[in-house]
């Protein structure tokens, strides 16, 4: 995974990462709240050397005491010393102080620091002092067998422990910092794991990693499309209308030979918006003054008649079966620059056979001779073979893909592979249901400031005339 892909994962999985972070910080705060306060008290033992009669005796005593410090440090936490210290403090029989008492010495010193931890500050100080006193007593008892050593080295309490004023644990800032680091680590790990294991298309960047095909159009998620699938004529400068104009413009650059284009609009799976894209694209091409015919070739689930409010029982199926003449089946939508529509007709029992027949090839060629654009609304690519057959007949295929998690990556890859496998030309992709913030960076509602019927020169002249009249 590259750095750009990693940043893309963080951007698209930020919510789950935030949830993990909040959960970890909350758990750290809750754990800190329920933990009892811990107090720590320390006392120090000094290992001294008895005065000698000569410099050699003094040097021998110093070396001996330094060598003995580590042994005395280990002796301080032995069960015998801790048991005697617990009895001295008055703790219940069998109390184990092994995890509550530590002894350590600094390098090149003869000081042994004994530290005790307890939930009570007074108890912590009492345990530390008791262990110190018992260590001194045990060392004297052990060293009695060696009279020379006993005269040379002596242990004494250098500093007694006092009850601490504040607990050393739990430490809220430290716990919260640990919670933040743990939350970020777990959140990022689960985000990366979900991205690796996720098989669905959820972002534009994920789609670009799957294909090198050109993106001819981008459309943001719009909740109003379900009720109003067609671009509103009253709001021709909306973001969605501008997106279809951009698709129309990009589509002209795919017509390298300048001849009539027959374009199959399909998708990998149902529900990705291929029918609404086909209808709106045809309307935009017609508004631009082109001769356009929209053919509803989805003979299983036709929707063009519903979108445009036209009769759908007479159309492609009835023309292919020679029940109705082509001119009688074509309908017009709109007054100025009308869009010609060939609806699906009655749902036949053998749609694949009709669309792959020689009659369909002849019909497409006849429509290409009459119109500049033939927009064919085809079924989804994976469930049936109809789009593959139509793609081989027509000029090219426009593949609509949704990136809101509806489509699996393998499904899109299979659809693209099918297009190439049948020898069809993939004109490009129409990316649907993009996050709104992506489209907000691309389009603005750049509406005209003057009436559409007035040119800027005419509007300026009218204003000057009005001022002179005054």
pLDDT of 57 above 70:
no
Contact call for residues 35 and 111 (beta carbons, < 8 A): no
pLDDT of 466 above 80:
no
Q: Which of 137-141, 315-319, 379-383, 462-466 has the lowest mean pLDDT?
A: 462-466
By C-alpha distance, which of 196, 375, 372, 347 is closest to 275?
375
Cα 458 from Cα 328, distance rounded (Å)? 45
138 and 244 fall within a common domain: no
Cα 454 from Cα 452, distance rounded (Å)? 6
Q: How confident is the model at residue 223 (pLDDT cuts 50, 70, 90)?
A: confident
Residue 363, pLDDT score: 94
- Give the pair of three-digit tokens for residue 7: 């940043």
Cα 304 from Cα 248, distance rounded (Å)? 19
pLDDT: which is higher, 30 or 461: 30
Q: How confident is the model at residue 428 (pLDDT cuts 50, 70, 90)?
A: very high
9 and 129 fall within a common domain: no
Cα 284 from Cα 286, distance rounded (Å)? 5
Residue 442, pLDDT score: 46
**Residue 144 CB coordination number (10 Å):** 10
Residue 443, pLDDT score: 46
Range list of β-strands (E), 203-291 = 215-220, 261-267
Using CA atoms of 382, 383, 389, 394 in order, give the dihedral in degrees to the nearest 10.
-70
Q: What are phi and psi of 391, to 5 degrees?
A: -65, -35
By C-alpha distance, which of 361, 365, 341, 356 is closest to 259?
365
Domain range holding 294? Answer: 204-440
Q: How confident is the model at residue 406 (pLDDT cuts 50, 70, 90)?
A: confident
Range 140-150 average pLDDT: 63
pLDDT of 368 above 90:
yes
155 and 174 fall within a common domain: no
| 465 found inside a domain | no
Residue 125, pLDDT score: 92
What are the beta bridge partners of residue 296? 377
The mean of the pLDDT values for the chain is 84
- Residues 240-254 have pLDDT tens digits of 888 888 999 998 888
By C-alpha distance, which of 308, 249, 297, 251 is closest to 274?
297
Contact call for residues 116 and 105 (beta carbons, < 8 A): no
328 and 224 fall within a common domain: yes
3-state secondary structure of 343: coil
| 451 found inside a domain | no
- Residues 8-31 have pLDDT tens digits of 788 878 899 999 999 999 999 998
47 and 130 fall within a common domain: yes
The answer to whether the predicted template modeling score (pTM) of the entire model surpasses 0.75 is: no
Percent of the chain exceeding pLDDT 70 equals 85
**Looking at the 3D structure of the chain, how many domains does it have?**
3
31 and 47 fall within a common domain: no
262 and 176 fall within a common domain: no
| 463 found inside a domain | no
pLDDT: which is higher, 146 or 261: 261
Q: How confident is the model at residue 452 (pLDDT cuts 50, 70, 90)?
A: very low
Cα 269 from Cα 384, distance rounded (Å)? 10
User: Which strands sit side by side in the sheet containing 261-267, from one edge to the other?
Assistant: 215-220, 426-434, 396-402, 261-267, 373-377, 292-296, 339-342, 331-333
Cα 104 from Cα 39, distance rounded (Å)? 18
Cα 293 from Cα 201, distance rounded (Å)? 32
89 and 8 fall within a common domain: no
| 288 found inside a domain | yes
The bridge status of strand 373-377 relative to strand 261-267 is parallel
| 446 found inside a domain | no
Report how far Cα 247 is from the mean position of its chain's Cα atoms.
28
pLDDT of 107 above 80:
no
Write the CATH number for 84.
3.30.70.1130
| 459 found inside a domain | no
pLDDT of 45 above 70:
yes
3-state secondary structure of 263: strand
pLDDT of 467 above 80:
no
286 and 342 fall within a common domain: yes
The bridge status of strand 396-402 relative to strand 373-377 is unpaired
pLDDT of 445 above 60:
no
Q: Which of 123-127, 144-148, 331-335, 355-359 has the lowest mean pLDDT?
A: 144-148
pLDDT: which is higher, 414 or 107: 414
Tokens 């680590």, residue?
185
What are the beta bridge partners of residue 44? 113, 159
Cα 164 from Cα 297, distance rounded (Å)? 85
Q: How confident is the model at residue 440 (pLDDT cuts 50, 70, 90)?
A: very low
The bridge status of strand 396-402 relative to strand 261-267 is parallel
pLDDT of 360 above 90:
yes
Range list of H helices, 309-385:
316-320, 326-329, 351-355, 358-370
43 and 103 fall within a common domain: yes
212 and 300 fall within a common domain: yes
Q: What are phi and psi of 269, to 5 degrees?
A: -130, 165
pLDDT: which is higher, 230 or 30: 30
pLDDT: which is higher, 225 or 54: 225
| 452 found inside a domain | no
Tokens 């504040």, residue?
166
Write the CATH number for 343.
3.40.50.300
Range list of β-strands (E), 238-395 = 261-267, 292-296, 331-333, 339-342, 373-377
pLDDT: which is higher, 243 or 374: 374
Residue 149, pLDDT score: 47
- Residues 163-220 have pLDDT tens digits of 898 888 888 889 899 999 999 999 999 988 887 787 888 888 888 888 999 999 998 8
| 454 found inside a domain | no
- Residues 269-323 have pLDDT tens digits of 998 989 999 999 999 999 888 999 999 999 998 988 888 888 888 999 999 999 9
186 and 209 fall within a common domain: no
């Amino acid at each position: 995974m590259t750095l750009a892909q990693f940043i893309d994962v963080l951007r698209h999985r930020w919510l789950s990462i935030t949830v993990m972070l909040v959960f970890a910080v909350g758990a750290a705060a809750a754990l800190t709240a329920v933990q009892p306060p811990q107090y720590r008290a320390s006392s120090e033992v000094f290992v001294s050397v008895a005065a000698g009669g000569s410099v050699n005796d003094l040097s021998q005593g110093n070396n001996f005491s330094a060598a003995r410090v580590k042994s005395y440090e280990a002796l301080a936490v032995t069960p015998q010393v801790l048991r005697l210290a617990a009895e001295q403090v008055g703790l219940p029989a069998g109390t184990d102080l092994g995890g509550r008492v530590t002894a350590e010495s600094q390098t090149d010193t003869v000081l042994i620091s004994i530290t005790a931890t307890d939930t009570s500050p007074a108890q912590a100080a009492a345990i530390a002092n008791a262990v110190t006193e018992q260590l001194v007593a045990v060392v004297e008892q052990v060293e009695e067998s060696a009279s020379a050593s006993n005269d040379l080295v002596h242990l004494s309490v250098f500093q007694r422990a006092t009850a601490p004023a504040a607990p050393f644990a739990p430490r809220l800032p430290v716990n919260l910092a640990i919670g933040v680091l743990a939350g970020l680590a777990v959140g990022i790990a689960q985000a990366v794991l979900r991205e690796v294991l996720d098989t669905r298309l959820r972002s534009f960047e994920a789609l670009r990693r799957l294909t090198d095909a050109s993106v001819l159009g981008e459309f943001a998620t719009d909740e109003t499309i379900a009720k109003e699938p067609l671009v509103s004529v009253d709001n021709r400068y909306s973001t969605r209308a501008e997106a279809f104009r951009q698709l129309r413009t990009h589509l002209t650059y795919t017509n390298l030979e300048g001849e009539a284009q027959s374009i199959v609009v399909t998708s990998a799976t149902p529900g990705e918006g291929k029918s609404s894209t086909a209808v709106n694209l045809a309307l935009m091409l017609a508004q631009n003054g082109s001769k356009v015919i929209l053919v509803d070739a989805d003979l299983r689930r036709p929707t063009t008649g519903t979108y445009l409010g036209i009769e759908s029982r007479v159309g492609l199926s009835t023309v292919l079966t020679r029940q109705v003449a082509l001119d009688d089946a074509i309908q017009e939508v709109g007054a100025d620059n009308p869009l010609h529509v060939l609806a699906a007709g009655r749902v036949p029992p053998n749609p694949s056979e009709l669309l792959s027949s020689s009659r369909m090839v002849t019909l497409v060629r006849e429509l290409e001779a009459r119109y500049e654009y033939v927009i064919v609304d085809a079924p989804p690519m994976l469930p049936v073979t109809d789009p593959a057959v139509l793609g081989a007949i027509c000029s090219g295929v426009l593949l609509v893909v949704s990136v809101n998690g509806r489509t699996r990556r393998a499904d899109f890859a299979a659809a693209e592979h099918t297009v190439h496998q049948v020898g069809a030309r993939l004109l490009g992709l129409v990316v649907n249901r993009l996050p709104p913030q992506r489209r907000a960076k691309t389009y603005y509602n750049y509406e005209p400031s003057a009436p559409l019927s007035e040119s800027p020169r005419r509007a300026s002249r009218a204003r000057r005339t009005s001022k002179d009249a005054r």
